[in-house]
Amino acid sequence: MKNLQETVSHFHIQGSVGEIKPLGSGLINDTYKVNTIEADAPDYVLQRINHAIFQNVEMLQNNIAEVTQHIRKKLTEQGESDIDRKVLQFIEAENGKTYWFDGDSYWRIMSFIPRAQTYETVNPEYSYYAGVAFGDFQAKLADIPTTLGETIPDFHNMEFRLKQLREAVANNAAGRVAEVQYFLDEIEKRAEEMCKAERMGREGKLPKRVCHCDTKVNNMMFDEDGKVLCVIDLDTVMPSFIFSDYGDFLRTGANTGDEDDKDLDRVNFNMEIFKAFTKGYLEGAHSFLTPIEIENLPYAAALFPYMQCVRFLADYINGDTYYKIKYPEHNLVRTKAQFKLLQSVEAHTPEMVAFIQECLK
């Protein structure tokens, strides 16, 4: 960990560095907890930014600065207490920026939020709070005065993700196409319907808003009482359809199994979580949502397992070049689990539609 110590030394942190150890379960960046020795000095989180994926680090860090400053301002105006636990704070490096390039990798450091917890699964009560929090996150950012850059162009564009999959199939780089034909067929059957957001966008019926775009349950910090403190992992905050945040939370939060569960019987869509989250989300976001956005929330619930299925499968076909994997079939196992989740979402669609209508009464 000597190099990590050296990296930290380029940032203006308080206290002296003790232990540095891996943190969290992200699939893209490398994350470490930096403990300081002094009891009164804060601890920190050190991250190596995955530069192959986030190619414009300057834009990335600018977006994050805009977003965190805007949220901080709102929290201050609302007279909130405990603001440092409610919005991320990045530490300046000796070059005056919030990141440091060591000639090979880009690094950044943020304050570690004390007495906070992340979860891989949530109960209905926590989901309700999460719904309010993501609705509120979007509401707070609705009037951000700048236009944020697209840190990953076409990130949640379904047409683009299908194009990438079709290109992967045409190249067949890892020779894996034949064994996944069943999933390719199932994906193509739904392709037209699943690209509906892009079509509505072009027709001017659906706006883009500032979204988080990675609202996995584990990207949220909860306090001791299960209340949401803040949303983390802000790399993908960018303009998108609101479906991104609503759909990606349910993809992870309402899955009764794991994202990469090998036992497909464990993978189902949990309607209790759906209901609690949707109720909270509508409370947090009703001030700006349009009828078309609300009407298409069940579509969003299906879109994200579908999109993730497409992305995991494309990566499997390409020979695992994007996501971190733990074993050779990992991306295929993930694809199968996301497809099972999609089927369960599809089976629950009429019930979702009815519940949303109830909420609006």
Contact of residue 244 among ligand GN1, Mg ion, none (CB under 5-8 Å per partner type)? none
Rounded to an integer, what distance in angstroms lies between the CA atom of residue 161 and that of residue 46? 31
Interface positions, 273-332, toward ligand GN1 (CB under 6 A): 308
Q: Are 148 and 237 in contact (CB under 8 A)?
A: yes
Q: Are 4 and 83 in contact (CB under 8 A)?
A: no
How many CA within 13 A on the CB side of residue 234?
A: 28
Give the nearer residue to Mg ion in terms of CB position, either 76 or 117.
Answer: 117
Residue 245 interacting with ligand GN1 (CB under 6 A): no
Burial class (CB in 10 A: 0-12, 13-18, 19+), 239: middle
In angstroms, the Cα distances linking 226 to 277, 284, 329 are 14, 17, 35
CB of 32 to ligand GN1, least distance (A): 15
**3-state SS of the chain: helix, strand, coil percent to 5?**
50, 15, 40
Give the nearer residue to ligand GN1 in terms of CB position, either 13 or 253.
Answer: 253
Q: Are 339 and 186 in contact (CB under 8 A)?
A: yes
CA dihedral 59, 65, 67, 68 (to 10 degrees): 150
Give the nearer residue to ligand GN1 in terms of CB position, either 36 or 252.
Answer: 252
CB of 18 to ligand GN1, least distance (A): 26
Binding mask 223-262 for Mg ion (x = CB under 5 A): ----------x-----------------------------
Residue 26 interacting with Mg ion (CB under 5 A): yes
Residue 216 interacting with ligand GN1 (CB under 6 A): yes
In angstroms, the Cα distances linking 211 to 120, 141, 246, 286 are 21, 8, 10, 15
**List 50, 61, 219, 252, residue binding Mg ion (CB under 5 A):** 219
Contact of residue 139 among Mg ion, ligand GN1, none (CB under 5-8 Å per partner type)? none
Interface positions, 61-120, toward ligand GN1 (CB under 6 A): none
Rounded to an integer, what distance in angstroms lies between the CA atom of residue 235 and that of residue 87? 14
Q: Which stretch binds ligand GN1 (CB under 6 A): 26-34, 96-104, 160-168, 283-291?
A: 26-34
Q: Which residues of this chain interact with ligand GN1, rule CB under 6 A?
A: 26-28, 53, 214, 216, 219, 233, 236, 259, 308
Q: Which residues of this chain interact with Mg ion, rule CB under 5 A?
A: 26, 219, 233
